[in-house]
Amino acid sequence: MLLAFSIAPSSPDDSGSYAEAVAAALRIVRDSGLPHDLGSMFTTVEGEWDEVMAVVKQCVDAMEPYGDRVGLVMKADIRAGRTGQMSAKVERVQGLLDDPATS
């Protein structure tokens, strides 16, 4: 599965930033060893259902010191038997864009 998620504590730190809290969660994603991609609005993780959801739960737990509530938004693409889709999906679209016959 591919799971894109955005996570943040209920309020920013004194400087108005969520960066420290988000970095705490992203350390968990990075340390999980799962393929992942950090974007400006979402982080995408690829793996089996149970391992991906375990990482998301750990990220939520990592937010607890930064506020009394955590906001979490998720979107999943679940396809049995598929791996490497984080890059494959992008490559398929890019191939169409690069093909003069489809432009």
In degrees rounded to 5, what are phi and psi of residue 18?
A: -105, 0
Asked if 32 and 51 touch (Cβ cutoff 8 Å), the reply is yes
Domain total of the chain: 1
Domain that includes residue 29, residue range: 2-102
Residue carrying the six token digits 């988000």: 22
Q: What pLDDT is recorded for position 14?
A: 77
Asked if 21 and 58 touch (Cβ cutoff 8 Å), the reply is no
pLDDT tens digit sequence for 11-53: 777 787 888 898 999 999 999 999 999 998 999 999 999 999 9
Q: What pLDDT is recorded for position 54?
A: 98
The pTM of the full predicted model, rounded to 2 decimals, is: 0.82
Average pLDDT over residues 54-62: 96
Percent of the chain with pLDDT over 90: 53
The CATH number given to whatever domain includes residue 30 is 3.30.70.930
Q: What pLDDT is recorded for position 103?
A: 60
- 3-class SS shares of the chain: helix, strand, coil, % to 5: 50, 20, 30
